[in-house]
Every structure is written in structure tokens, then in C-alpha cells.
Amino acid sequence: MVNVGYARVSTVDQVAGLEAQERDLGATGCTKVFTERVSSVAERAQLASALDYVREGDTLVVTRLDRLARSTADLLAIIATLERKSVGLKILDFGGQPVDTKSPSGRLIVTLFGAVAQFERELLLCRQREGIAKAKAEGKYRGRAPTARRLAPQVRAMSAAGVGASIIAQQLRVSRSSVYRILADESLS
């Protein structure tokens, strides 16, 4: 019976958040910690690995519910997978208290709060869409600055130094297609 940790942040810029999760998971005695830097809506390969790794009697430990599941349905599917393997789920900070699904009350609390969290997320997204629509109507909305375009000088410099597109993409954490697009734009000018 071991504690297996899972830590996730949504962007590569959230290094401190990932380090804090790793620290908290280590402090709870997690002997193995799976970490990833990926949005919850993307493919979460390390979560899949963690779910595959855990064995009967183990406990999957996360710092907060939002680091694990993207919706109530996703949460319930993860819990069902863990229950089939006789593995518990422990959330370290669940409204200021830890909660463990090894007890019936713990499962109830996680399910209820998972539904509430999804509801809050959907309300936030609704308000965000309304705010964007208002800003667009007033001519104030510009959208997100493209990440790869900001890195164009570094992409061009690395390419000029003979570094390949795959390595550039990996080191700058952008897609290869973005690297090719930037280099193509340069050749057109």
C-alpha cells in the first residue's frame, strides 16, 4: 500500500505551482509522483500512467480536485477506475480539509463538491464569454497574444545557428508547425 501522487499545471509558466504540488505530495509520503504541464482538456498522459501504475490498496493523492478532473463526469470516471482497482483517492486541500474516498462519506463529499466545482466553472466561462462579447462590441477586445509569434526572434536566431525545427520547438515549448510558420514568414519578407 503506497501513496502515488499526481500533480498538474495548465501551462509551462506555472513552475511554482507545480513545485508546490510536488512538495505537498512528497510531504504526505508519496513514493512516486506523476507530473505534467497540460491543460485539463488536453490528453493527460501522466494521469493515464498514474491510473495504470496504482495497485490494489494504493492511494492516488492530489493536492486539489481541479488538478485531477475537468468535470463531474470526468471525476466520476476516474473514481470508478480507481474503485475497480481497489485504489483510494485522497485530496489534500478540499475546502481546507483533506478528504479520502476510501469512506462512503468521503466519496459523497467528493462527488457533491465535484458537481459544485463544475457548476462554478461553467458560470465563470459564461461570464467570461459575456465580458468578451461586451469588450468586442466596444472595440476593446484584442484576444490573446500568440505565444509563438513573440518568440520569432529566438526561432530565427536558433535556425540561423543551424538548430533544427524539432529542437527549436522543444526548447521554446511551441509546436513544430509554429516554428515552420515563423521561418516561412521570414522567407517571404
Q: What is the pLDDT of residues 63-121, one digit of tens each?
A: 998 889 878 888 888 998 999 999 999 999 877 788 888 888 888 888 887 788 778 88
Q: 17 lies in a domain? A: yes
Q: 142 lies in a domain? A: no
Q: 137 lies in a domain? A: no
What is the secondary structure of 131-168 as a DSSP string?
HHHHHHHTT----PPPHHHHTHHHHHHHHHTT--HHHH
73's grid cell = 463526469
> Are 1 and 59 contacting, i.e. CB atoms less than 8 angstroms apart?
yes
Q: Are residues 29 and 109 in the same domain?
A: yes
User: Exposure string (b/e) for 22-43, b if CB count within 10 Å is 16 or more?
Assistant: bebbeeeebeebbbbbbebeee
Q: Is the pLDDT of residue 189 over 60?
A: no
CATH number at residue 65: 3.40.50.1390
Q: Which residues are catalytic?
A: 10
Give the domain-ending residue among 72, 87, 121: 121
Q: Are residues 163 and 116 in the same domain?
A: no
Give the confidence band of 130 by pLDDT, cuts at 50, 70, 90.
very high
User: 15 or 76: whose pLDDT is higher?
Assistant: 76
Q: CA 124, 125, 126, 127: dihedral to nearest 10 degrees?
A: 50
Q: Are residues 24 and 97 in the same domain?
A: yes
Give the confidence band of 48 by pLDDT, cuts at 50, 70, 90.
very high
Q: 136 lies in a domain? A: no
Q: Are residues 24 and 100 in the same domain?
A: yes
When divided into structural domains, the chain yields a total of 2
**Residue 168 CB: number of other CB atoms within 10 A?**
24
137's grid cell = 462590441
Instruction: Domain of residue 182: give its range.
Output: 147-188
Give the confidence band of 26 by pLDDT, cuts at 50, 70, 90.
very high
Burial class of 144 by CB neighbour count within 10 A (0 to 12, 13 to 18, 19+)? exposed
Q: Are residues 27 and 115 in the same domain?
A: yes
Q: Are residues 57 and 115 in the same domain?
A: yes
Give the domain-ending residue among 121, 138, 160: 121
- Kindly give the pairing relationship between strand 88-94 and strand 97-100: antiparallel
188's grid cell = 517571404
Q: Is the pTM of this model over 0.75?
A: no
